[in-house]
Structure 1
Amino acid sequence: MEAALKNIQSKLESIFSHLHTYPEVSWQEYDTTAYIRQLFEPYDCHITTFDDSPGLVIEIGHGKPVIGLRADIDALWQEVDGEFTANHSCGHDAHMTIAIGTLMTLLETGCPAQGTFRFLFQPAEEKGTGALSFVDKGLVDDADFLYGMHLRPGEELGHEQFAPAIKHGAARFLKGTIRGDDAHGARPHLNANAIEIGAELIQHLNNIHINPMIPHSAKMTAFQADGGSTNIIPGNASFSLDLRAQTNAVMSELTEKIKQIAGMLANYHQVSIDLTTGADIAAAVIDGEAAAMMMDAIRTSAGPEKLRPTITTTGGDDFHFYTIKRPHLKAAMLAIGCDLSPGLHHPHMTFKQEIIPQAVRILTTALTQTAEKHADIR
């Protein structure tokens, strides 16, 4: 493996540079898809692309077990130095490079005698809908194991530290509208001010009490009620809510309380308040056997001194929909410590890129050891 990694080292640096330089937002990753495809067209592998979406699947080997490795390929849309642009501030450029490096290493060294390795380059993780689309395409129906990865901020893992699983929380994004009537600025008694209703909603969000032993939060992240005239009291508004909870049960409880608050405010102010769910990301369901395989791979490839316990984070990832929708699937995500700062989703996020070959080594080991240990699966 070391010789193979050395052979592709400069290639991986070039691949990361390209992916970082040309980010694409969710559901628009067509050039990224084409770029990854052309990398592997010269190799003996099976490549699948889709007519209805970006993303691709590359498969090598044969027979059981079927072991998947998923990499998310989309970038965020955010303001960077005063200009809105696509930006890889969540590390997906690194995730793609690591998956590409793992596949190239397997191709260079040869696959185990038994086992199929399926590489899922998945769109739209940031929207929370990409994994569901791949599930609906049947891409993991016959899979036995699925591995993923994510760079971790420095506050969670030190540089060159690795954890065998990431216990993500649930995330849910609600869009809301307030519908009433406008009124003249001199006659505030003739309507309900949508801005004041929004302020009340924020206050009630802060008054929600759920078991404090389970991390959770609800906050307003956008509010728009400006009609362009300063002498009109707005009766209409739109807003966004970001909900987080460490368990799916608490997310359900939190959502129900917010629906009750919206109903109460609508009734009191005689307006309509409608809530719709945008992205909806489930909390992690981690398989013990898959996490154990990843733990062994970290010990073998990086050394026991670099192994850390499972990471618990309030962030979310749609990776966990694979196991929720297909409960037979055994899955875990590698947590990668890489001196990431100032933090995930910061417009100027940076990390130490020398971690990429180390992560490739761990994941290649995890895939091959899983195949060898479970070669009797039929």
Structure 2
Amino acid sequence: MSSPNPSFLIIVVVLVSVLPANSSPDFLLRAREPEFYEWMVGVRRTIHENPELGYEEFKTSELIRKELDAMGVSYKHPVAVTGVVGFVGTGKPPFVALRADMDALAMQESVEWEHKSKVPDKMHGCGHDGHVAMLLGAAKILQEHRHEIKGTIILLFQPAEEGAGGAKRMIEAGAVDNVEAIFGFHLAADGTVGTVQSRPGPIMAGSGFFEATITGKGGHAAIPQHTIDPIIAASNVIVSLQHLVSREADPLDSQVVTVARFQGGSAFNVIPDSVSIGGTFRAFSKESFLQLRRRIEEVIVAQAAVQRCNATVDFLKERQPFFPVTVNSNDLHEHFEKVAGELLGSSNILDRVPLMGSEDFAFFTDAVPQTYYYFVGMQNHSHATLAPAHSPYFQINEEALPYGAALHASLAFQYLSESHTSSPVGEKKFHDEL
């Protein structure tokens, strides 16, 4: 056998020396393989046809467990009623988590296609079916590289993101005990396929809901002088609530107060005894959020009193828990830019303008030292413009699925590689296992 060409050896040495020390394998190439891609699409379409609301995701959970079993991935179930928590790697620290939400929305799908929702008045109108498919894709990739993982990657399939606080219940169930970093994602109709969007610091607002009952004295509409009209009082309340943002908030501190419901009498010629109004309020800091909450109650009670009415205010925390602000770690943002840059190219990492929408991923902020949330683009400009989330016309461009699966897997894989090489596990305080 002839000896190796010296020039070839030099080329090999040079190539090895310029590769990143902790670079992940080419997960995107794997996720884009036709068989792998079709599998993810099939999972997503099955979930889409069978949408389930928060804490009712029994079929979705069963499908997830079936796929994890096929991969050989161990898991815990049930967690927070229908949730599934999977584990890939050594089973020992350090621990990093990847999260996807599972629940659908209570709305009728208006798009006619082969895999339309089979359940009346329920649809996946926010992309959670795609999120589950992408996390399962990440799980498959990671399981194939499990012997290279320098710690444990926790897979969180979370129920009830849409207002019912599923993340909070996952935390209470111990799903993120000892986790030092967690990544979440969302498909974005306003981003191009192959791009991702995020930013350090606050990225989504904290939110709460309120409901008020304003009570007066009803009577015939033809003799209003014998009544105490709660409709007039409620109208003044609604106008005054708008002044909280326009007149009391710093113009550079984004806030929202919206009254979205007004319910009163049922006849055209009768002034009702009472009316109810309801809405939402949002802010990007805890201080602003609490200030809005205090002033909403003060304004409703005081304005009702001006019109000789009484008012009670309920902030619905039992039914709709307050969502904190979603905040991205500065350190994880640097990690995200590095990993996404290697996978997609730096030009495909875009800054995301903070959104006034909220996400219950924010609950992980108080439970995990470092949190990070990003958006996966799915708009193909050669196709029709995609409708926004929570629209009955919402659709997913399935071409985006490999990007979310590969990036989610890479973020966790490289985080553990860098954690393992930069600071010995023994210097950190962890339990021996979950």
Name the TM-score, length of structure 1 as normaliser.
Answer: 0.92
The SS at the match of 1:25 is coil
Taking a change above 3 Å as real, the CA distance of residues 111 and 95 of structure 1, as seen in their structure-2 partners, is farther
Map 1:102-181 onto structure 2 (within 5 A): 102-154=138-190, 157-165=191-199, 167-181=203-217
The residue aligned with 2:233 is 197
Please state how far the C-alpha of 1:252 moved relative to its aligned partner. 1.6
CA contact (8 A) 2:71 2:140 kept: no
Asked if residue 252 in structure 1 is aligned to residue 297 in structure 2, the reply is no
Asked if residue 15 in structure 1 is aligned to residue 27 in structure 2, the reply is no
Asked if residue 66 in structure 1 is aligned to residue 95 in structure 2, the reply is yes
Asked if residue 358 in structure 1 is aligned to residue 400 in structure 2, the reply is no
Q: Relative to structure 2, which stretch is displaced further, 63-72 or 79-88? A: 79-88
Alpha-carbon distance between aligned partners in 2 of 1:266 and 1:303, rounded to the nearest angstrom: 57
Alpha-carbon distance between aligned partners in 1 of 2:101 and 2:377, rounded to the nearest angstrom: 18
Asked if residue 32 in structure 1 is aligned to residue 60 in structure 2, the reply is yes
Please state how far the C-alpha of 1:86 moved relative to its aligned partner. 1.3
Q: Deviations over 1:4-27 (max 9, x none)?
A: 652422110100111111111122
Please state how far the C-alpha of 1:128 moved relative to its aligned partner. 4.6
Alpha-carbon distance between aligned partners in 2 of 1:98 and 1:80, rounded to the nearest angstrom: 22
CA contact (8 A) 1:27 1:124 kept: yes
Taking a change above 3 Å as real, the CA distance of residues 296 and 130 of structure 1, as seen in their structure-2 partners, is same
Q: Relative to structure 2, which stretch is displaced further, 352-361 or 75-84? A: 75-84
The residue aligned with 1:212 is 251
Alpha-carbon distance between aligned partners in 1 of 2:188 and 2:233, rounded to the nearest angstrom: 38
Alpha-carbon distance between aligned partners in 1 of 2:230 and 2:304, rounded to the nearest angstrom: 11
Taking a change above 3 Å as real, the CA distance of residues 17 and 147 of structure 1, as seen in their structure-2 partners, is same
Please state how far the C-alpha of 1:97 moved relative to its aligned partner. 0.9
Asked if residue 302 in structure 1 is aligned to residue 311 in structure 2, the reply is no
Aligned residue identity for 2:210: L
Match of 2:330 among 265, 270, 288: 288
Aligned residue identity for 1:299: G
Q: Relative to structure 2, which stretch is displaced further, 4-13 or 115-124? A: 4-13
The SS at the match of 2:398 is coil
Aligned residue identity for 1:337: G
Aligned residue identity for 2:293: T
Percent identity, aligned pairs only?
21
Gaps of 5+ in 1: none
Match of 1:57 among 85, 96, 104: 85
Alpha-carbon distance between aligned partners in 1 of 2:270 and 2:147, rounded to the nearest angstrom: 69
CA contact (8 A) 2:183 2:372 kept: yes
The residue aligned with 2:263 is 224
Taking a change above 3 Å as real, the CA distance of residues 353 and 51 of structure 1, as seen in their structure-2 partners, is closer
Map 1:92-111 onto structure 2 (within 5 A): 92-111=128-147
Aligned residue identity for 1:19: I
Aligned residue identity for 2:347: E
Q: Deviations over 1:24-80 (max 9, x none)?
A: 112221221112112212333222122762221111222111110111111111244
Alpha-carbon distance between aligned partners in 2 of 1:4 and 1:200, rounded to the nearest angstrom: 56
Taking a change above 3 Å as real, the CA distance of residues 3 and 259 of structure 1, as seen in their structure-2 partners, is closer
Aligned residue identity for 1:354: E
Aligned residue identity for 1:222: R
Q: Relative to structure 2, which stretch is displaced further, 94-103 or 183-192? A: 183-192
The SS at the match of 2:106 is strand
Alpha-carbon distance between aligned partners in 2 of 1:285 and 1:359, rounded to the nearest angstrom: 20
Please state how far the C-alpha of 1:108 moved relative to its aligned partner. 2.4
Map 1:241-280 onto structure 2 (within 5 A): 241-278=279-316, 279=320, 280=322
Taking a change above 3 Å as real, the CA distance of residues 106 and 51 of structure 1, as seen in their structure-2 partners, is closer
Q: Which has the higher strand share?
A: 1
Larger Rg: 2
CA contact (8 A) 1:175 1:275 kept: yes
Please state how far the C-alpha of 1:186 moved relative to its aligned partner. 2.9
Alpha-carbon distance between aligned partners in 2 of 1:272 and 1:30, rounded to the nearest angstrom: 44
Q: Deviations over 1:162-197 (max 9, x none)?
A: 124471111111122223332222331233222222
Aligned residue identity for 2:154: R
Name the TM-score, length of structure 2 as normaliser.
Answer: 0.81
The SS at the match of 1:78 is coil
Asked if residue 341 in structure 1 is aligned to residue 353 in structure 2, the reply is no
- Cα RMSD after superposing both structures: 2.2
Asked if residue 42 in structure 1 is aligned to residue 70 in structure 2, the reply is yes
Aligned residue identity for 1:180: G
CA contact (8 A) 1:175 1:238 kept: yes
Map 1:367-378 onto structure 2 (within 5 A): 367-375=412-420, 376-377=424-425, 378=428
Alpha-carbon distance between aligned partners in 1 of 2:259 and 2:364, rounded to the nearest angstrom: 29
The SS at the match of 1:374 is helix
CA contact (8 A) 1:111 1:368 kept: no
